[in-house]
Structure 1
Amino acid sequence: MALYIEGSADDGTIWVEQPVNITRARTVTVDVYSEQQSFNRLSEVAFFAGKKPQDGLSESDFNRENDIEDHAGWKTYSYPVDDLTGSVTLAVGMSVVWETGVRRLFDNVRLVEADSSH
């Protein structure tokens, strides 16, 4: 999926979301493409898994600890979800933290199950 956000306000988050049964998952991974590495933090991966707030998701609900410009090309980010069970809302997107428009590619969002051999 291609995401674009106009960051002229130096702030903002966009995402896609869907309900998933996360009971068997240990982590959620997502691949993100950055055209080039930068020492400036322009955007962050926005990740949420859990019970959706009654009034809907907002920027403050997301884990935004991962800088997208820390690499060039594709990179896989991983988020632990082994403390969740049942049907939850899974949301993946991007936050802009620099006064510029940002376009990034996201692919291959996966629920990764625990290794049953251990």
Structure 2
Amino acid sequence: MALYIDGTADDGTIWVEQPVNVSRVRTVTVDVYSQQESFNRMSQVAFFAGKKPRSGLEESDFDREKDIEDHSGWKTYSYSVDDLSGTVTLAIGMNVVWETGVRRYFDDIRLVTE
């Protein structure tokens, strides 16, 4: 999945979402590609798993703690969903921090049961 967000005016978050049954799932992983490692924090993985708010998801609902530019090439990011059960909304995307346009690639989203 290729995500692009134009953050030249400010920060923002872009994502895809779908309902997922996580009853037997312990962890969700996603591979993210960064063209180059940088000490500048430009973008972050945006992750959400849980009950979707009535008004819909917004930037503050996401876990945005993991910087994307901390590596070069592909890296797997992992998120625990041990405390959830049943069908929840799973949303994965990108938050832009730096005021620039950012394109990142996401692949191989996995629901890990062990």
| Residue 10 of structure 1, CA deviation | 2.9
Q: Secondary structure at the match of 2:45?
A: strand
Q: Write the deviation string for residues 13-68 of structure 1: whole angstroms up to 9, x where unpaired.
A: 00000000000000000000000000000000000000000010000000000000
Aligned counterparts of 1:25 and 1:39: Cα–Cα separation in 2: 34
Q: Secondary structure at the match of 1:69?
A: coil
Which ranges of structure 1 fall in alignment gaps of 5 or more residues? none
Query: Is residue 2:83 matched to residue 1:92?
Result: no
Q: Could you tell me which residue of structure 2 aligns to residue 110 of structure 1?
A: 110
Count of residue correspondences: 114
Aligned counterparts of 1:36 and 1:90: Cα–Cα separation in 2: 28
Q: Could you tell me which residue of structure 1 aligns to residue 71 of structure 2?
A: 71
Q: Secondary structure at the match of 1:94?
A: strand
What value does the CA root-mean-square deviation take over the aligned residues? 0.5
Matched AA of 2:93: G
Matched AA of 1:22: V
Q: TM-score, normalised by structure 1?
A: 0.95
Matched AA of 2:81: V
The runs of at least 4 consecutive aligned structure 1 residues that moved more than 6 Å come to none
Q: Could you tell me which residue of structure 2 aligns to residue 50 of structure 1?
A: 50
Aligned counterparts of 2:65 and 2:8: Cα–Cα separation in 1: 21
Q: Could you tell me which residue of structure 2 aligns to residue 83 of structure 1?
A: 83
Aligned counterparts of 2:9 and 2:18: Cα–Cα separation in 1: 28
